[in-house]
Structure 1
Amino acid sequence: MALNLRIDPFTPQRSTLYLEGRLDAISFGEFDKQADKVLEQMNTGSTLVLDLSALDYISSAGLRSIAKARKAMRARDGQTLLVNPQVQVRKVFDIVKAVPVNEIFQNVRELDDYLDRIQRRVLHEGEELE
């Protein structure tokens, strides 16, 4: 199976890429090309979410592509978060330690709870600075 990539309605602050199929030596080029289009439009400090719920397989080429996207987001003082990884894909990330465990979420609710905590912390720190 090839890779199908769907992009949520784009916003410069937060965009979600939905990956379906296989991210491997055959499909990584298409992923890179589509991700680059999105990344070019992301604002400083924004968030890229990769939804892996329909990703069945990831190879080292796929890991490199995700690392490349993460690096591009860090250059913009942004972050890349992964949600809904299938068990076998999560195991690959665990084995190679390609993505910090605090950037992988079991579902969107867990991601939203994390983002909520971050925003509350920023607001709380801002109140202390005033």
Structure 2
Amino acid sequence: MTIELRAERPSPARLVLHLNGRLDAVTYLDFDTTVLPMMGELPQGVTVVLDLAGLDYISSAGLRSVARVRKATRALHGHTLLLDPQPQVRKVFDIVKAVPVSEVFASTAELDAYLDRIQQRMIEGNGE
């Protein structure tokens, strides 16, 4: 099985990565060699969204790849958010506590509502 990755930039401050297939010991290197160079081109305060709706399986190697993305995003003072993980993938994240539950969203609408709240807080001067 392979990993398919599609990147989307809906705004300069947001990168959405759509994953399909398996992120495992066979495919993690393809993921890393595609995504990590993108991280160097992102601005401070970026939000990276990993859309996991099409991800069928994640292994410990895949978790390490996600951790690398999170680390690179944190270095930019940004956020990494997970969108719509399938139940089996979400269970892996729950088991290893790899991603805080506040960074996992069930739908694009839920994610957009969260991002709207964050931006509104920033506008009102109550942001981080």
Please tell me the TM-score bracket, short chain as reference: over 0.9
Identity %: 55
CA distance in 1 between counterparts of 2:3 and 2:30 reads: 8
TM-score calculated relative to the size of structure 2? 0.94
1:26 alignment counterpart: 26
RMSD of aligned alpha carbons: 1.2
2:8 alignment counterpart: 8
- Does the Cα contact within 8 Å between 1:12 and 1:41 map onto a contact in 2? no
Indicate whether 1:55 and 2:55 are aligned: yes
1:42 alignment counterpart: 42
Give how far 1:9 is off.
Answer: 4.0
CA distance in 2 between counterparts of 1:4 and 1:11 reads: 22
2:125 alignment counterpart: 125
Q: Which runs of 5+ in 2 are unaligned?
A: none
CA distance in 2 between counterparts of 1:10 and 1:33 reads: 22
Q: Which runs of 5+ in 1 are unaligned?
A: none
2:100 alignment counterpart: 100
User: Where do 4+ consecutive residues of structure 1 move more than 3 Å?
Assistant: 9-12
User: Secondary structure, in 3 states, of the residue corresponding to 1:115?
Assistant: helix
1-10 or 89-98, which deviates more: 1-10
* Count of equivalent residues: 126
Change (3 A) 1:75 1:34: same
TM-score calculated relative to the size of structure 1? 0.92
CA distance in 2 between counterparts of 1:76 and 1:8 reads: 19
- Does the Cα contact within 8 Å between 1:84 and 1:106 map onto a contact in 2? yes
Larger Rg: 1
User: Secondary structure, in 3 states, of the residue corresponding to 2:41?
Assistant: coil
CA distance in 1 between counterparts of 2:106 and 2:85 reads: 7
CA distance in 2 between counterparts of 1:54 and 1:34 reads: 18
**Counterparts of residues 77-92 of structure 1 (less than 5 Å):** 77-92=77-92
- Does the Cα contact within 8 Å between 1:58 and 1:89 map onto a contact in 2? yes
Amino acid at match of 1:54: G
Structure in which a larger fraction of residues adopt strand: 2
- Does the Cα contact within 8 Å between 1:73 and 1:80 map onto a contact in 2? yes
Amino acid at match of 1:74: R
